[in-house]
Amino acid sequence: MTDKILPKVEEWRNRALREIYSIVYIDGQRFKVRSEGSVREKTVYTVLGIDIEGNKDILGLWIADTESAKYWLSVLTDIKNRGVKDILIMTSDDLSGIEDAIKAVYPESLYQGCVVHLIRNSLKYVSYKDLKEFSSDMKFIYKAPTEESASKYLDEFKSKWGKEYPLAVGTWDRNWDRISAMYRFTDEIRKLIYTTNAIESVHSQFRKVTRSKSQFPDDISVMKMLYLCSIEVSKKWTMKLPNWNRFWGLGGIP
């Protein structure tokens, strides 16, 4: 019976999209799927767009075994072929090859790495006794008004914590170019682009409908269930984001 919705899934995955999106978020969620006689963990990537009017739209779902520039090139090319001519800002966690793919398909787009993921990754290496002070010092970096002042705070942060927690501090150094784009924008816009919270709320809905499934028999079964959930989630998005014009100007463009 569920195979009857397959044409609708394919139609949805190939539908035409808007020409311009202000922000596009990319994030993944893991599922156990039976493949070639064994159960494997696969990642389903959700791509969520916010158009220039402030409306949310799930652009698509892509299932993958691995990440690479070639894989992301195929995803972004698919999006472009479906009518998306321009994306102003793209934000994601540290996905292998994503930046190279963005440069190839949308060279004018600004890439912003997820700062919340960076904070979490950094704190994994910090002892509980120092967690509060370490976290407080980090705030000076990502809350700084300019990139110049943020860089100054990062130097002070490295001087204070670098010897004791080189892995935690090194996380900021290694990812600086990936997350520093946010300093070009106001606090309101930063809150939208330095985290993938918008897409994580979609994933929380996915978890609700899949929590009873310890594993899926194949890729198609995962896609069918997430497609149905995506349609239901999208029905609730009847209004644009609050105060959107404050973020992007009267015409929706900064």
- Say whether both 72 and 42 belong to one domain: yes
CA distances from 73 to 61, 79, 88, 100, 238 (A): 15, 10, 17, 8, 31
pLDDT value, residue 109? 94
State the pLDDT at residue 34.
Answer: 87
- Residues 54, 90 share a domain: yes
Total domain count for the chain?
Answer: 2
- pLDDT bin (cut points 50, 70, 90) of residue 253 is very low
pLDDT in tens, 198-252: 888 899 999 999 988 888 988 999 999 999 999 999 999 988 877 677 665 533 4
Reported confidence tier of residue 5, pLDDT bands at 50, 70, 90: confident
Asked whether residue 189 is assigned to any structural domain, the reply reads no
What is the domain range of residue 103?
Answer: 2-114+196-246
Do residues 128 and 36 both lie within one domain? no
Tell me whether residue 191 is in a domain: no
CATH of the domain at 60: 3.30.420
For the stretch 81-117, pLDDT in tens is 999 999 999 999 888 889 999 999 999 999 999 998 8
pLDDT of 148 above 90: yes
pLDDT exceeds cutoff 70 at 2: no
Contacts 24+ apart (CB under 8 A), 99-106: 99/178, 100/69, 100/72, 100/73, 101/69, 101/72, 101/73, 101/75, 101/76, 102/72, 102/76, 104/69, 104/73, 104/76, 105/73, 105/76, 105/77, 105/79, 105/80, 106/76, 106/80
Give the model's pLDDT for residue 247. 61
142 and 63 within one domain: no
- Residue 254 belongs to some domain of the structure: no
Is residue 41 located within the same domain as residue 125? no
pLDDT tens, residue by residue, 181-193 = 999 888 878 888 8
Tens digits of residue pLDDT in 12-32: 999 999 999 999 999 999 999
The pLDDT mean for the chain works out to 89
